[in-house]
Amino acid sequence: MLRQIVTALGMTAVFTAVLGLAYPLAVTGVAQTVFPHRADGSLVEHDGRVVGSALISQGFTGEEYFHPRPSAVDHDARDSGGANLGPSDEGLLGDVSDRALAYREENGLPEGAVVPVDAVTASASGLDPHISLANAQIQAGRVARERGWDTGYVEDLVGAHTADRALGVLGEPAVNVLTLNLALDEAAP
């Protein structure tokens, strides 16, 4: 029996060293060598200071800014997670209806106008930093109006900050809200 305990403790020590130390260090080393910016969190700097991450949504509420997707965790990366409500859940349906009404109102859309799904639903993590191109194009009119700019100029900024489909075929074109809003603040038409 003592021999089995010693063997079990030895294997625990070996697996702890390999899986708890060596493997994480190797993965971190490869990531820092091959993808250093991503391994460090894809941090976005503005005027020499870090203002966020290109991978984490931030809440922008000012009318002169593009707004991100709704967030089930109020854009707080410490509490990532969705609401896990099904498509027939009364609470979710009420939230979506309220969000669609507010979205139409803030963007000057007529009652019953089609609203992009990402404008009224949260992502699975609640922290998706991107919005759809359709969502950004609708918001461009409001942003231009609030800033006193030509809508075409704001639409050009949206186009410049639109990422293509992953690998050319996966997903849809998307716009990173943080980098677009930073570009708005730096721009002078």
Average pLDDT, whole number, for the chain? 87
Q: Which residue has the higher pLDDT, 159 or 50?
A: 159
For residue 103, the model assigns a pLDDT of: 94
pLDDT band at 189 (very low <50, low <70, confident <90, very high): low
Q: Which residue has the higher pLDDT, 53 or 176?
A: 176
Report the pLDDT value the prediction gives residue 145, as an integer from 0 to 100.
95
Pairwise pLDDT comparison (79 vs 137), residue with the higher score: 137
SS (H, E, C) 128-139: CCEEEHHHHHHH
pLDDT digit string (tens) for 34-88? 888 777 777 778 888 887 777 777 888 889 999 999 887 776 777 776 667 777 8
Separation of alpha carbons 64 and 148, rounded Å? 9
Q: How far apart are CA 162 and CA 146, in angstroms?
A: 22
Report pLDDT for 91.
Answer: 78
* CA torsion, ordered 88, 177, 102, 171, to nearest 10 deg: -30
Between 154 and 91, the more confident residue is 154
- What's the whole-model pTM score? 0.78
Q: Is the pLDDT of residue 141 over 90?
A: yes
pLDDT given at position 35: 83
- The residue that leads in pLDDT, 141 or 42, is 141
